[in-house]
Amino acid sequence: MDHPRRKRHVGKWLLAAAIVLAGVAFAIMWRPAIAPLTAAPSFDQTRIARGANLARLGMCASCHTPDLAKPFAGGKPMETPFGTVYSTNITPDPETGIGRWSPDAFTRSMRKGVSRDGHHLYPAFPYNHYTRMTQADIDDLYAYFMTRPAIHAPARDNDMTFPFGFRPLVAFWNVLYLDDTAWEADPKQSAEWNRGAYLAGAVAHCAACHTPRTMLGGPDLSRPLDGGEAEDWYAPALNARAPSPLPWTREQLHAYLRTGIANDHAVAGGPMQDVVMHLAQADERDVAALATWTHSHLAQAPARSTPAQQAGSLPEPKADDPDLQRMRTGYALYANSCARCHDAGRAPSSGTALPLQKAVALYDPDPRSLIHIVDDGILPPDGEPGRWMPGYRTILTDEQTGALAAYLRKYGAGQPAWPDLDDAVRKARAP
């Protein structure tokens, strides 16, 4: 039988527990404001120049403006599974930017993902990578940003799905995914490799795209560099599971990261094009270090025999192919639309291109990157106006795009059919 006194007792305990929990949650979520600067700081030129290089390696410009005429003024939308986040103004405008931020406020934002006034920032801002930068590098970035032209541009409201509009929830994400222990060099590796590892992990955030994410949008730390995604493109695995049909040499990686194009490999497309544009302007030695580090991972991929080792046109479908109708449609599209450029092999400054059996997009575990390439074509890299591919979005139907992709996967790459290809085509091509 229930005893009224005991009931009251339980009630008290529950209340106490609720208060303790609320206190713990508050301690996890709440962050104080940091006092604004009262005097304008000054910086020496070497700091600013080093900061400029780090800003390129960290690709700050690619997210912090949609408008090249207004560098770092913010306002670029970023789609996340939890809603749309807009980047903010990181020019030194005192009202709408970081002009009143002290070095401590800037450091806290980079290390803890907390704004000067104490609100949590969404991890669409890759502070979970920047947190591991050296203090000297963060100070150099501060010097660089505090000396950019100030632009008045208020932040836009985010458009988050319930309950993610409540920023303090990010504090729990940080408990799971924010590892702000200091970066440590691996003494078994060369100084160049260690420089590359540091830049890749703490600055250029390669894993933000190349490592898969969990349901909560955090990096799946059990599968480092196992292939991820960005803006609906597949970002290939950079480890033993790399889909690339031909092995990468260190020299090819250096050329690819610097210019977006390397012998025997596909061009950098989609979000990787943006990465390369930034690396093109960074310190050459840093790009070389990134290539050394990346190569050490890609070199773990076992040698495979793939159609990429053969030259020449792709074959007609076999007469006994169980999916003959569709494969014939795909082959006809390839022969009429693609072969004239892709069968010629890539020549410098011309419209001709890599034979498609060498294109990594045919070997990816899902067809998204291939569909985007066919839809949108390829814009030429700087200085190579001839290297251009037209987009087929308005020319091919969903069915034709699907048939072409199915044919290329089977007769170009010799790989098992992509599951749910038709769904993927519809989704990737949806307006």
88 binds ligand HEC (CB under 6 A): yes
421 binds ligand HEC (CB under 6 A): no
Among 48, 146, 202, 374, binds ligand HEC (CB under 6 A): 374
Instruction: Please state, in angstroms and as integers, the Cα–Cα distance from residue 369 to each residue in 145, 270, 271, 361, 373, following that order.
Output: 34, 8, 10, 6, 6
Q: Rounded to the nearest whole angstrom, what is the least distance from the CB of residue 355 to ligand HEC in the complex?
A: 8
- Give CA torsion, residues 353, 291, 366, 270, to 10 deg: -60
* Site map (CB under 6 A) of ligand HEC, residues 101-130, x = contact: -----x--x-----x-----xx-xxx---x
73 binds ligand HEC (CB under 6 A): no
Q: Are 74 and 87 in contact (CB under 8 A)?
A: yes
Half-sphere exposure at residue 201, Cβ-oriented, CA atoms within 13 angstroms: 20
- Give CA torsion, residues 145, 147, 151, 152, to 10 deg: 90
270 binds ligand HEC (CB under 6 A): yes
239 binds ligand HEC (CB under 6 A): no
Long-range contacts of 159-164 (CB under 8 A, 24+ apart): 159/83, 159/84, 160/82, 160/83, 160/84, 160/85, 161/82, 161/83, 164/82, 164/83
204 binds ligand HEC (CB under 6 A): yes
Q: Which of 332, 327, 341 is nearest to 373 (CA)?
A: 341
Contact region for ligand HEC (CB under 6 A) — 34-42, 322-330, 358-366, 419-427?
358-366
Among 150, 151, 153, 373, binds ligand HEC (CB under 6 A): 373
User: Alpha-carbon distance 297 to 240, whole Å?
Assistant: 7
Contact region for ligand HEC (CB under 6 A) — 20-28, 177-185, 237-245, 417-425?
237-245
* Site map (CB under 6 A) of ligand HEC, residues 132-171, x = contact: ---------x------------------------------
User: Alpha-carbon distance 235 to 73, whole Å?
Assistant: 28
236 binds ligand HEC (CB under 6 A): yes
Q: Rounded to the nearest whole angstrom, what is the least distance from the CB of residue 265 to ligand HEC in the complex?
A: 5
Q: Rounded to the nearest whole angstrom, what is the least distance from the CB of residue 25 to ligand HEC in the complex?
A: 20
Applying the rule CB under 6 A, the residues between 390 and 419 that interact with ligand HEC are 390, 392, 404
Output the six-digit token pair for 100. 């009143």
* Site map (CB under 6 A) of ligand HEC, residues 7-46, x = contact: ----------------------------------------
Q: Are 167 and 119 in contact (CB under 8 A)?
A: yes
Q: Rounded to the nearest whole angstrom, what is the least distance from the CB of residue 384 to ligand HEC in the complex?
A: 9
User: Alpha-carbon distance 415 to 400, whole Å?
Assistant: 20
The angle subtended at Cα 99 by Cα 98 and Cα 102, nearest 5°, is 80
Among 52, 60, 202, 371, binds ligand HEC (CB under 6 A): 60
Residue type, 101: W
If one counts every other C-beta atom within 10 angstroms of the C-beta of residue 215, the result is 7
Nearer to ligand HEC (CB atom), residue 187 or residue 348: 348
208 binds ligand HEC (CB under 6 A): yes
* Site map (CB under 6 A) of ligand HEC, residues 246-265, x = contact: -------x--xx-------x
317 binds ligand HEC (CB under 6 A): no
